[in-house]
Amino acid sequence: MTMIPVKLMQLPHGTSLPLPAYATALSAGVDLMAAIDTDIVLQPLERTLIPTGIAIALPEGYEAQIRPRSGLALKNGISLVNTPGTIDADYRGEIKVLLVNLGQEPFTVTTGMRIAQMIVAPVSRVSFELADSLDDTARSQSGFGSTGTHAKKVVEA
């Protein structure tokens, strides 16, 4: 694994919370916590922006991806509206998490609750080349659902 130095600033409303950290030695992401003064109740299908109390300075060539926590998704239907959210290397504002309650019951977000995870990843840049046509493939223009829902039996030659 590569260690990437990232500057982090704790904002005044987040100083009582621990810094983001990896839960296990092989965790891919760090947990982000809710830096809120009072509980926030999310009704079913409601969404809200939750502050984390931190800002970061990513090095050029990296992004931070904000993703749902699997336990909250499974147990409570809590996800992110824009998953994964992207924090660009030139953004210096507070990281906020756009939570949505896809569950059937109200969900309460409390101070310090682990609400999302953040993964830092390298960014590839592309240069587009205008073309009159594209190479054909077996899939071609078949889109949504075109590969089916079950694995196809592989016939060995």
Q: Each residue of 110-151: pLDDT tens digit?
A: 999 999 999 999 999 999 999 999 998 887 777 777 677 777
Residue 25 domain-assigned (yes or no): yes
pLDDT exceeds 70 at position 157: no
Mean pLDDT to the nearest integer, 100-113 = 98
Query: Which residues, in sequence order, are CB contacts of 89 under 8 Å at separation 6+?
Result: 58, 59, 60, 61, 62, 63, 123
Range of the domain at 104: 7-122
Residue 139 domain-assigned (yes or no): no
Residue 102 phi, psi (nearest 5)? -95, 5
Residue 96 domain-assigned (yes or no): yes
Residue 16 domain-assigned (yes or no): yes
Which CATH number goes with the domain that contains 54? 2.70.40.10
The three state secondary structure string of 137-150 is CCCCCCCCCCCCCC
Assigned token pair, 60: 């050029």
Q: In which band, very low, low, confident or very high, does the pLDDT at 153 lie, cut at 50, 70 and 90?
A: confident
Please give the Cα distance from 68 to 78 (Å, whole number): 8
Q: Each residue of 44-84: pLDDT tens digit?
A: 999 999 999 999 999 999 999 999 999 999 999 999 999 99
What pLDDT does residue 12 have? 97
- Number of domains the chain contains: 1
Q: Each residue of 12-55: pLDDT tens digit?
A: 999 999 999 999 999 999 999 999 999 999 999 999 999 999 99
Residue 148 domain-assigned (yes or no): no
Residue 150 domain-assigned (yes or no): no
Assigned token pair, 21: 């950290």
Residue 88 domain-assigned (yes or no): yes
Residue 142 domain-assigned (yes or no): no
